[in-house]
Amino acid sequence: MVKSKTPALPHWVNNLRRMMDAQGFNPRSLSLKAGLNATAVRDMLEGRSRFPRYDTTLALAEALNTTPALLMSDPKNAGEEETSNTMSGGDLELLTEIIARLQETTEELNRKLSPRDFAAMTAAIYRRIQESEERKTSSGFVRSQVHDLLNYELLKQKRARR
């Protein structure tokens, strides 16, 4: 008689279980908090969903106060990723402000940036503010940093065309 092997559950299911237990969620309560079908989390825990769509993962992560990357990460690396990805609330607020001002300014200037350029500019502005003595995080200061960098990039592109 041949036994049918049930496939092992994906590693992210263990992360989901651990986070649910730590925060006192049952499958139904988490499903509802995440805005999912009432049985969605139960189906995941039972292996019916091998790899959820990103929007589902995002909803679960938000309900669990984590990120999709940490929720879906390999347990062997989860501790490392959590340590390296953790930011203080102020840093996260600063990054959010930079991203919002950069999006706003590029739209005002009717300028398109590739995702790579957008990320590079965000990182450059973040580093510049982190290294500044004053470390101002006001909207006006961030906006001035965004304008400075965009103007620099425009000049650099004009010179490259010559």
CATH number of the domain where residue 58 is located? 1.10.260.40
Average pLDDT over residues 150-160: 78
Its domain, for residue 74, covers 11-85
Q: Looking at 85, 115, 147, which one is the last position of a domain? A: 85
Please tell me the least confidently modeled range out of 13-27, 83-97, 118-132. 83-97
Tell me the whole-structure pTM to 2 decimals: 0.46
Give the residue from 54, 66, 86 showing the smallest Cα distance to 25. Answer: 66
What's the number of domains the chain is made of? Answer: 2
Give the residue from 23, 26, 30, 13 showing the smallest Cα distance to 72. Answer: 13
Let me know if residue 5 belongs to a domain. no
Q: Is the pLDDT of residue 120 over 60?
A: yes
DSSP-derived secondary structure letter, 66? S
Q: Looking at 85, 116, 139, which one is the last position of a domain? A: 85
Most confident of 31-40, 62-71, 73-82, 122-131: 31-40
Q: Torsion over CA of 14, 17, 19 and 22, rounded to 10 degrees?
A: -130
Q: Is 118 exposed, middle or buried (0-12, 13-18, 19+ CB in 10 A)?
A: middle
Instruction: Look up residue 69 and give its two tokens.
Output: 């990357």
Please tell me the least confidently modeled range out of 8-17, 45-54, 150-159. 150-159
